[in-house]
Structure 1
Amino acid sequence: MARVILVIALALVMVMGVTAVGCDGVDGNGDIPNGDTPNGEVPNGDEPNGDEPNGDEPNGDEPAEPDLVSGLGLVIDCDENTGAEPEVGDTALDFRFQDAIDTTFALSDFRGRVVMLNFWRTKCNYCIAELPHIQQLYDEWPATELVLLTIDKGEEPATVATYMQDEGLSFPVLVDREEKVSGEYEVTGLPRTFFIDEEGVIQVIKRGYFHTLADIEAILNQLLGQ
């Protein structure tokens, strides 16, 4: 009888040993410690079963709004106007451009947001006077509320790049070397700024420079209903 009890006890010890080896590294709820993800699970914060990490939602949700990269871009082309200078109430002429990383955009891509379109050049003293206000605007206003586009009229990219670097400016600049956009918008004096609403309609045209940031923000707040 004693030998039978001893055999049963030894058998129980062996079963417990096998169970302990099989569960090593896995807690009682099936969670995987130490960041390991066996059995086809996706590591590094990625979620399986079609869910997208980092707030991206696939499968029919609205696409992300286009965002410009700060720095130097290039004008590609512009729609032709009707032969008259653009006026308040006109739909802004569409044009195409590449940003600083060669992503192609059109002005019409930004429908749904207010656009401030500013024309300038490095040899224009009045333009230079308002550039710090434009930089501050770019730094402080979210891109979800305002799309800031500036266009350098008729200069070489190297000239504009050097000036931007020397002055510590980082807002988006489109070089319009052949004056494709400047010409169609009939920009004969600088600086000139067009404020375009969410529907793509010109609401304000400013001829001359802004003396203060508050002058620009007053127009933007009116357009945004703030």
Structure 2
Amino acid sequence: MMPDDPFSNRTEDFLNKALKAGVGSLPVVGSALAEFFNFVVVDPAQERRDDFLRETMERLVALQDNHDQLSAEALRSNEAFQATMLQAARLATSTASAEKRELLQNAVLNSAIGTIDENVRQIFLEMIESMTPMHVVLLKFLSNPKESPEAVASAKSIMMGSMEHVITAALPKVTEDKELFRRLVGDLYRFGLTTRDSFGGMQSGGDSLLNPATTQIGRGLLNFIERPD
């Protein structure tokens, strides 16, 4: 017989039980502290996990008519999908970002629909764990700056300038904190997702300021986290 809650007794529950036991063993205040910890940390984390799993499965069911790979029989034999689901659920539990949880859902669905090398899949999930939605927004822009009307208008108005000016025109919130922006750029370059570690250098204006700056692995990651149809 199937349990009432198909998301109970997951791997995360064993971790939560261990944490509860550790807090509960503290002298004097252990019991009260454990109750407080469960209420403010453990229970909400489990709710995020369960919500993530339910929403992912709802999206999967909605796509089944368009993809034979999403049948129950196909998914049962798809180890990449199963591994991605488990890893993504763990990551979803530990993030407060709804945008990041959606990216993780996309990764789960794409791992089911397509094929991906296991090494690449693991690397992509490690990257996603370290990245913020702002990283992804910048990476998407750098994959095709010409898709942004603001970027195109900015590039055409500049005779000599930097690509950072064009990025600012398209993504002002990404560049308003210069220190944070430099960190984002550096992270993407360090991950091997982009071809440049800085966009502040002067160059001629026009189309030269709209050249893509993503690597093959960067484009692959974007495909992995793109919302599937």
TM-score of the aligned structures, taking structure 2 as reference length = 0.23
Higher Cα Rg: structure 1 or 2? Answer: 1
| Higher relative contact order (CA closer than 8 Å, sequence separation 6+) | 1
TM-score of the aligned structures, taking structure 1 as reference length = 0.23
Q: Which has the higher helix share?
A: 2
Q: Which has the higher strand share?
A: 1
